[in-house]
A and B are shown apart, each in its own frame.
Chain A
Amino acid sequence: MAKDKSLTQKERYKSGVIPYAKMGYWEPNCVPKDTDIIALFRVTPQEGVDPIEASAAVAGESSTATWTVVWTDRLTACDVYRAKCYRVDPVPNAPGQYFAYITYDLDLFEEGSIANLTASIIGNVFGFKAVKALRLEDMRIPIAYLKTFQGPATGVVVERERMDKFGRPLLGATTKPKLGLSSRNYGRVVYEALKGGLDFTKDDENINSQPFMRWRDRFLYCMEGVNRAAASTGEVKGHYLNVTAGTMEEMYERAAFAKELGSIIIMIDLVVGYTAIQSMAKWARANDMILHLHRAGNSTYSRQKNHGMNFRVICKWMRMAGVDHIHAGTVVGKLEGDPNMIAGFYKTLLSDKLPANLEQGLFFEQDWASMRKCMPVASGGIHAGQMHQLLHYLGEDVVLQFGGGTIGHPQGIQAGATANRVALETMIMARNEGRDYLREGPEILEKAARWCGPLRQALEIWKDISFNYESTDTADFVATPTPVA
């Protein structure tokens, strides 16, 4: 695909319109520097547009270019500031789509600002007419840039030490129904679920401060539930108090009250925006608070395969921005998630040095330079009967959230929580004993259900529940989506 690129200075800066590829945005011989930020886009050019020209245009529009030549370029070291597309590959099994590798000089971005990074990388360029669709698939963040970010306020290691919980996934549940409960009734759910055996309960993303339940009241009742449960079990417990609000001032006010009440964790929604997330991460670090992020809204741009951005990029940004928890898929639950893709998200959140792995959608090697790890959260349509699969696919460092799978238990919320905890501990024990727990899972659970009534009922009621839909976001480098057992 190599093309002649070089124009003389005179030709290059003559007024008018010249192809992006010829303006220096296509440099097939360019070798990215260790300090460069690299982005991989899936480009779908308009009919008749050359893929290299389209990719060069993406490089141009996400860095210095405008649609026409400007003489003011010549007042700058514009060769440095131009992003350079250095490689364009056709996407396997997807005619008309191309992977464009674009490298950006470190000086293009403000230190420690996701907002600034994204304003370039996913700014105007996504509306650019020459491409029919555009998707940001992955990014390589150089250590030089990573080190300008705080990273997770608490991180997996410290969170576990604070919680005094080791060697198993953590358990959580979202209070249901999502909307409408009064604070008093809401806190009841918190108490029952935590006393029954969960480590965390959670506000849902859209529980903020509505007429049926104002935030202050909710915080007070939830913390009563948390502390009662801690006293009756001897364990550290937490409820993610959602501090999402209309303004930063209100968010800070709510967070401060959560701290005053002795909560160990607060939460925010992805929709508050990158800057607000970074601010709350700084606040959480300064106030010894675990920061949970609900990824509300991400599917609007991460789900479709040809346009938007891949969730793994959000994972990277959020780890840099400094959240401690992020919802990252379940594989077996009700929400979107191909096993390979989910494995890639989890690794992105939890690894220190991560090699490239095309099957899992990891296009670049990524060194996290000891940035703290972000705990993935698996939530949505999961239940105790899937414990072997959850452990197999998601591993040990994860929060498993059984909302319906706890509160919907016929014997009540405590029984639902106990069923989940017993199923989890049983499975961890079997795994550690060297059992083939994925295959023998149902049998292992059956055996525990013989002495644990709540688990017996949970297995009975949810035995046929599974969500077998094909994922839309799948790997490009395997022939078929990975089937889930």
Chain B
Amino acid sequence: MKITQGTFSFLPDLTDEQIRAQIDYCLRNGWALNVEFTDDPHPRNTYWEMWGLPMFDLKDAAGVMLEVNACRKAYPNHYVKVNAYDSTKGRETVAISFIVNRPKKEPGFGLVRQEAPGRTIRYTIHSYATDKPEGDRY
């Protein structure tokens, strides 16, 4: 299975050149960028670990690539994503977010059903990877 979070997950994994082009787009828009990684890709896991602070005032993608590569090197088998933040009034949120590294094997999620009255079912999305402790998952 392939987790399809992020802006470009249905495309083949991005090449470094493609990543750089997207980062340059963000910089042209004046957005700050940051790199995040996780081994718990649950769809509601909002807070991936931050690889350093967001980078402000950069002019060129090379600076961000430095961090992308460092993070990928440190966590070759984690999910790594690049986020861009737009601080414009009225938006003030993530403007784009895309995965730049994923584990070799993605076991994905199981759906746990708890039967409740009136044929109602309560659903839990369970990540197989999180059966193991943090750091040993992929």
Would you call A220 and B121 a contact (CB within 8 A)?
yes
Interface members, chain A 370-402 (any B CB < 8 Å) = 370, 373
Cβ proximity bits B1-35 to A, threshold 8 Å, 1 near / 0 not: 10111011111100000100110010000000000
Chain B residues whose CB sits within 8 angstroms of the CB of A4 once the complex forms: none
Chain B residues whose CB sits within 8 angstroms of the CB of A421 once the complex forms: 10
Chain B residues whose CB sits within 8 angstroms of the CB of A432 once the complex forms: 21-22, 25, 96
Does B119 touch A at the CB level, under 8 Å?
yes
Would you call B4 and A160 a contact (CB within 8 A)?
no
List residues of A whose CB falls within 8 A of some B CB. 157, 160-161, 164, 166-168, 197, 220, 223-224, 227-228, 230-236, 260-262, 352, 370, 373, 418, 421-422, 425-426, 428-429, 432-434, 448, 451
Chain A residues whose CB sits within 8 angstroms of the CB of B123 once the complex forms: 223, 227, 262
Q: Is the interface of A mostly helix, strand, loop or mixed?
A: helix
Would you call B22 and A197 a contact (CB within 8 A)?
no
Given contacts A164-B46, A422-B10, A429 and B111 within 8 Å (CB-CB): no
Given contacts A234-B3, A352-B89, A421-B10, A220 and B120 within 8 Å (CB-CB): yes
Does B122 touch A at the CB level, under 8 Å?
yes
Would you call B3 and A233 a contact (CB within 8 A)?
yes
List residues of B whose CB falls within 8 A of some A CB. 1, 3-5, 7-12, 18, 21-22, 25, 41-44, 46, 83-84, 89-98, 108-111, 119-123, 125
Would you call A224 and B121 a contact (CB within 8 A)?
yes
Would you call B12 and A234 a contact (CB within 8 A)?
no
Q: How far is the CA of A157 from the CA of B87 in the complex (A)?
A: 12
Chain A residues whose CB sits within 8 angstroms of the CB of B10 once the complex forms: 197, 418, 421-422, 425
Tell me the nearest residue of chain A to B28, going by C-beta. A434
Tell me the smallest distance from the CB of B129 to a CB of chain A, in Å: 11
Would you call B119 and A370 a contact (CB within 8 A)?
no
Chain A residues whose CB sits within 8 angstroms of the CB of B111 once the complex forms: 227-228, 231
Q: How far is the CA of A161 from the CA of B83 in the complex (A)?
A: 13
Tell me the smallest distance from the CB of A347 to a CB of chain B, in Å: 13
Would you call A166 and B97 a contact (CB within 8 A)?
yes
Would you call A164 and B125 a contact (CB within 8 A)?
no
Would you call B12 and A451 a contact (CB within 8 A)?
yes
Tell me the nearest residue of chain B to A260, going by C-beta. B120
Would you call B91 and A157 a contact (CB within 8 A)?
yes
Q: How far is the CA of A426 from the CA of B18 in the complex (A)?
A: 12
Would you call B46 and A352 a contact (CB within 8 A)?
no
Q: How far is the CA of A189 from the CA of B114 in the complex (A)?
A: 23
* Beyond known contacts A234-B108, A432-B25: 19 more, CB 8 A cutoff: A161-B93, A164-B97, A167-B7, A167-B84, A223-B123, A231-B109, A232-B1, A234-B4, A234-B42, A235-B5, A262-B123, A373-B90, A425-B8, A425-B11, A426-B11, A432-B21, A432-B96, A433-B18, A451-B12
Ranked nearest first, the 4 interchain pairs of A and B with the lowest CB-CB distance are: A167-B96, A234-B3, A432-B25, A227-B123
Chain A residues whose CB sits within 8 angstroms of the CB of B110 once the complex forms: 231
Chain A residues whose CB sits within 8 angstroms of the CB of B98 once the complex forms: 167
Chain B residues whose CB sits within 8 angstroms of the CB of A370 once the complex forms: 90
Given contacts A230-B125, A232-B108, A160 and B44 within 8 Å (CB-CB): no
Chain B residues whose CB sits within 8 angstroms of the CB of A373 once the complex forms: 90
Would you call A164 and B21 a contact (CB within 8 A)?
no
Chain B residues whose CB sits within 8 angstroms of the CB of A168 once the complex forms: 7
Q: How far is the CA of A432 from the CA of B25 in the complex (A)?
A: 6
Given contacts A224-B121, A232-B108, A260-B120, A433 and B43 within 8 Å (CB-CB): no
Chain A residues whose CB sits within 8 angstroms of the CB of B22 once the complex forms: 429, 432-433
Would you call A235 and B18 a contact (CB within 8 A)?
no
Given contacts A167-B7, A227-B125, A160 and B94 within 8 Å (CB-CB): yes
Which of A157, A233, A428, A451 has a CB less than 8 Å from the CB of B92?
A157
Tell me the nearest residue of chain B to A451, going by C-beta. B12
Which of B4, B5, B12, B94 has a CB less than 8 Å from the CB of A197?
B4
Q: How far is the CA of A55 from the CA of B11 in the complex (A)?
A: 58
24 A-B residue pairs with Cβ-Cβ distance under 8 Å, sorted by A, are A157-B91, A157-B93, A161-B94, A164-B43, A166-B93, A166-B97, A167-B96, A224-B121, A227-B123, A230-B43, A230-B125, A231-B109, A234-B1, A234-B42, A234-B108, A234-B109, A235-B3, A235-B43, A373-B90, A421-B10, A429-B8, A429-B11, A432-B21, A451-B12
Interface centre among A227, A230, A234, A429 (most CB of B within 10 A): A234
Tell me the smallest distance from the CB of B123 to a CB of chain A, in Å: 4
Q: How far is the CA of A418 from the CA of B4 in the complex (A)?
A: 11
Chain A residues whose CB sits within 8 angstroms of the CB of B42 once the complex forms: 234
Q: How far is the CA of A236 from the CA of B5 in the complex (A)?
A: 9
